[in-house]
Structure 1
């Protein structure tokens, strides 16, 4: 179902139709190709249960994951809010625009230190973002850019990409329901980041 190296905005927005557990199972299986046994261990569920959850999640999503259009102007606003929060260390305004059941997925590819498990709910995502920000994880250049034909945030250090951050909105196209952070060097090499920067 996923044709690109990274998960597109359209894919993330559609994940808003799933429950937090369904989203976690689906992303781990579909985007990261985790085995059901590994997913079961990570989420503390049985392998059979994870198979059922994945099957149920897949039935809820359309076959074409690339035809969804987001509110791009609002995504610009969200990107700029995140960048300002990263620069000041004050994430309160950004946290206010997260849904209660927001899910943050990190892809470090085992080569970059990152959260192994999907982080679920507003309180935990807030604590995670504030924690990694306090440790300097977002130091460097942060730019709104086009990533695989979608708008996102590129973080650079010494002219090299170190992280790409994408958001997906809820069904009302207002609050952030999913955050996807790619810091896996192998995937960063394949991300088509254009020179276009949003002012």
Structure 2
């Protein structure tokens, strides 16, 4: 092996985090998996390792599968809807969390992946995202090539059934997001309803730690009125809204008057309408983005 683990650390870490985050939908858990994977790599004999990248991928994926199996039990007890932890794309973002922000890290896509079993998720990520051949995937998950082909076909069908019908360009997504923010800020109910698809879905994730709706809300009229009600409430406490990019898509960041982060809401666009809004309010899922405010205290509520 011509490259030592120490020399390859900076090159391997983004790949390992990319796999772990897509597998788990959690920045914290992905960091833990990557750290444990590096510890195992350091402890294992490397003399017989011909391909360090493949070895690192295998260790990371298997650890992520085990972690996801454990996480599934916790998520069954989770208060309200579970959403992945957002990764905000900014100049001062943690370099350790930077990964190729494409459709496969969008909030909507990661939510779709939740329907897959841990092994299905691993096969799909390795084949569809990382671009591994079936023989390589089979070696990582310890399955036959034929079995991996079947697993991937089933997983891809389930994912494709839930994907947007029409992919919007980044320019169109950003334009709709800007119009969305303007309509909310202006209290423009008619304009807001016009931007939302008739079957738009709003999902809030407070995890029992922040006030959020316990079930998804659907329908342009209901969602528009709910959002404007939130805006009126936020204005009383000097809440600030601004547009950012999170998980490769436009998002609305909510901050307290002192700048502390309160939430990140990703905006899903299909063609020329907003079809989904995923609002992460759980402070446990925002800590990696900087100082987090207490929404319950702000609103004078008890968690």
- Per the TM superposition, whether the score is higher than 0.5 is yes
Query: In 2 relative to 1, CA 118–58 (structure 1 residues): closer, same or farther, beyond 3 Å?
Result: farther
Tell me the equivalent position of 2:266.
Answer: 166
Tell me the distance in 1 between the aligned counterparts of 2:221 and 2:24. 32
Tell me the equivalent position of 1:154.
Answer: 253
Structure 1: segments with no counterpart, 5+ residues: 16-25, 32-55, 193-199
**What is the CA-CA distance between 1:130 and the residue it aligns to?**
2.3
RMSD value over aligned CA atoms?
Answer: 3.5
For the 8 Å contact 2:209–2:282, the answer to whether it is kept is yes
Q: 3-state SS of the aligned residue for 1:116?
A: coil
Q: Which runs of 4+ in 1 moved over 6 A?
A: none
Q: 3-state SS of the aligned residue for 2:272?
A: coil
Tell me the distance in 2 between the aligned counterparts of 1:100 and 1:123. 8
Does residue 152 of structure 2 align to residue 92 of structure 1? no
For the 8 Å contact 1:141–1:155, the answer to whether it is kept is yes
Tell me the distance in 2 between the aligned counterparts of 1:131 and 1:30. 31
1:50-107 Cα deviation digits (max 9, x unpaired): xxxxxx9985215xx9xx9752112212221222223222232122011111110001
Q: 3-state SS of the aligned residue for 2:114?
A: helix
Tell me the distance in 2 between the aligned counterparts of 1:150 and 1:71. 10
Alignment partner of 1:60 out of 154, 158, 165: 158
More strand by share: 1
Query: In 2 relative to 1, CA 114–189 (structure 1 residues): closer, same or farther, beyond 3 Å?
Result: same
Q: 3-state SS of the aligned residue for 1:111?
A: coil
Tell me the equivalent position of 2:37.
Answer: none
Query: In 2 relative to 1, CA 130–142 (structure 1 residues): closer, same or farther, beyond 3 Å?
Result: closer
Structure 2: segments with no counterpart, 5+ residues: 1-21, 27-83, 87-101, 116-153, 291-303
Query: In 2 relative to 1, CA 127–94 (structure 1 residues): closer, same or farther, beyond 3 Å?
Result: closer
Alignment partner of 1:4 out of 18, 21, 25: 25
Does residue 206 of structure 2 align to residue 108 of structure 1? yes
More helix by share: 2
For the 8 Å contact 2:85–2:285, the answer to whether it is kept is no
Tell me the equivalent position of 1:141.
Answer: 240
Does residue 95 of structure 2 align to residue 74 of structure 1? no
Alignment length, in residue pairs?
152
Tell me the distance in 1 between the aligned counterparts of 2:264 and 2:246. 8
For the 8 Å contact 2:203–2:279, the answer to whether it is kept is yes
Which structure exhibits the higher relative contact order, with contacts defined as CA atoms closer than 8 Å and separated by 6 or more residues?
1
